Amino acid sequence: MAQILIADDDAATRDLLRRALEAEGHTVKTASDGSEALEQVGTAGLALLITDVQMPGMDGIELAKAALAKAPGLRIILMSGFTDQLGRAGGLSGNVRTLSKPFTLDKARAEVKAALG
């Protein structure tokens, strides 16, 4: 199973995803903002970053760009309830997927499985 980092300023969303992915056998770390998440990018074994787009300070798009600069092979899932925000991700590499909010846990699991290949 994979090592996953979830960055979201909403504690309930972070915890729900963490528990669901740990139940699937993944090792999951969390961060409450983009800066905290970026500190964890590049650690050994990190395979996937799941980040909310709308966060205070460094938003998810900025985090994704900085994370890919630090760890080019990292796979990323951007989450947002605003489809226009997800459109801003167009300049990112092919390792980036999107997950529209609200989502079901089944949909989130499917996106993680697809992102990890």
What residue segments make up the domains of the chain, in order of their start? 3-105
pTM of the model: 0.91
Q: Which amino acid does the sequence have at 43?
A: T
Lateral strand order in the sheet of 46-52: 27-31, 3-7, 46-52, 75-80, 96-100
* Bridge partners of residue 5, in order along the sequence: 29, 49
Report whether 64 contacts 88 (CB < 8 A).
no
Question: In CATH, what number does 3-105 get?
Answer: 3.40.50.2300
pLDDT tens, residue by residue, 44-93: 789 999 999 999 999 998 999 999 999 988 999 999 876 665 555 555 66
Q: In the predicted model, what is the mean pLDDT of the chain?
A: 90
